[in-house]
């Protein structure tokens, strides 16, 4: 079986401190059929200067004004040509130079979603701990009632199943996007590998409260008011219990 083409998309804006390590983690993959796309929101710092250093190894670069993170991600989706797509935004990284080749060497060819674990890193790139949520053995849409069990950066989806991100959501459109992909997917493959490294203190953590409120609305839309309210109560108890004993989330 020939290797499927993977489109890795990075969205960035004014991230001169972190963009280079993100780029290196992708262009140094030993996987041979890789399309790398960078969507920049018209950065005003040295971000694009750094991006241009690696332009020969980047498939497509766009630098223009956008309407925010998810608008930029939609741009990346529209111009991607891979069999599969994934997002590794500035600050985050792929977990090692062989991770994609190791994952895709174990596929049968009919998978719709490939997923795995995520480790949390600090600003220097040191691994602090594994993500609090762990991916289930057999991922289904209803598993996301228990929270976003698979980090967006460790969620690789067949491109033909991927619609655009819903721009009516400002903080949790990735949660809604994953749910819509899972609605259509037939076979989801747990790689049992750490796929991505997520930087602590990113946008998700900075907007945790409005993000959770928006996620509740999305849950109501997908699962109904009763199930969404019940599971949000369970999640809230687990969340505060975790914070009390572990001091991080």
CATH number where 79 lies: 3.90.550.10
Both tokens assigned to 81:
């040509």
| DSSP string across 207-242 | THHHHHHHHHHHHHHHH-HHHHHHHHHHHHHHHHHH
- Under a CB-based contact definition with an 8 Å cutoff, are residues 199 and 94 in contact? no
pLDDT exceeds cutoff 60 at 110: yes
- Under a CB-based contact definition with an 8 Å cutoff, are residues 222 and 178 in contact? no
User: Which pLDDT score is estimated for 98?
Assistant: 97
Q: What angle do CA 59, 25, 47 make, to 5 degrees?
A: 65
pLDDT exceeds cutoff 70 at 58: yes
Residue 209 pLDDT level (bands cut at 50, 70, 90)? confident
Query: Does residue 176 belong to any structural domain of this protein?
Result: yes
User: Which pLDDT score is estimated for 132?
Assistant: 74
Q: What is the mean pLDDT of residues 197-213?
A: 76
Query: Does residue 230 belong to any structural domain of this protein?
Result: yes
Query: Does residue 67 belong to any structural domain of this protein?
Result: yes
Query: Does residue 234 belong to any structural domain of this protein?
Result: yes
Query: Does residue 29 belong to any structural domain of this protein?
Result: yes
Run of H or E residues at 113: strand 113-121
Please give the backbone phi and psi of residue 63, each rounded to the nearest 5 degrees, phi first: -130, 105
Residue 208 pLDDT level (bands cut at 50, 70, 90)? confident
pLDDT exceeds cutoff 90 at 8: yes
Query: Does residue 1 belong to any structural domain of this protein?
Result: no
Q: State the chain's mean pLDDT as an integer.
A: 92
Q: Which residue has the higher pLDDT, 6 or 246?
A: 6
Query: Does residue 92 belong to any structural domain of this protein?
Result: yes
Which residue segment(s) compose the domain that 99 sits in?
6-246
pLDDT exceeds cutoff 90 at 131: no
User: Which pLDDT score is estimated for 239?
Assistant: 63
Q: What is the rounded distance in angstroms from the CA atom of residue 216 to the CA atom of residue 222?
A: 10
Query: Does residue 10 belong to any structural domain of this protein?
Result: yes
User: Which pLDDT score is estimated for 130?
Assistant: 83
pTM of the model: 0.92
Q: What is the rounded distance in angstroms from the CA atom of residue 217 to the CA atom of residue 214?
A: 5
Residue 102 pLDDT level (bands cut at 50, 70, 90)? very high
Q: What is the mean pLDDT of residues 152-168?
A: 97
- Number of structural domains, the chain? 1
């Amino acid at each position: 079986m020939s290797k499927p083409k993977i489109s890795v998309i990075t969205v960035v804006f004014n991230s001169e401190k972190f963009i280079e390590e993100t780029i290196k983690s992708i262009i140094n993959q030993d996987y041979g059929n890789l399309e790398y796309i960078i969507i920049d929101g018209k950065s005003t710092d040295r971000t694009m200067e750094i991006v241009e250093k690696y332009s020969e190894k980047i498939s497509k670069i766009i630098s223009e004004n956008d309407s925010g993170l998810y608008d930029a991600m939609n741009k990346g989706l529209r111009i991607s040509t891979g069999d599969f797509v994934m997002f590794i935004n500035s600050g985050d990284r792929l977990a090692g130079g062989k991770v994609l080749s190791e994952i895709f060497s174990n596929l049968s060819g009919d998978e719709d979603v490939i997923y795995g674990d995520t480790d949390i890193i600090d600003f220097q790139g040191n691994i602090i701990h594994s993500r609090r949520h762990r991916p289930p053995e057999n991922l289904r849409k209803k598993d996301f009632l228990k929270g976003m069990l698979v980090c967006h950066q460790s969620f690789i989806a067949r491109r033909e199943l991927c619609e655009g991100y819903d721009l009516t959501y400002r903080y949790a459109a990735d949660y809604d996007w994953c749910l819509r992909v899972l609605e259509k997917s037939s076979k989801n493959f747990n790689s049992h590998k750490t796929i991505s490294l997520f930087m602590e203190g990113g946008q998700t953590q900075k907007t945790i409260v409005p993000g959770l409120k928006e996620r509740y609305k999305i849950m109501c839309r997908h699962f109904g008011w009763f199930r969404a309210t019940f599971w949000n109560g369970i999640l809230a108890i687990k969340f505060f219990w975790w914070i009390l004993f572990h001091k991080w989330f």
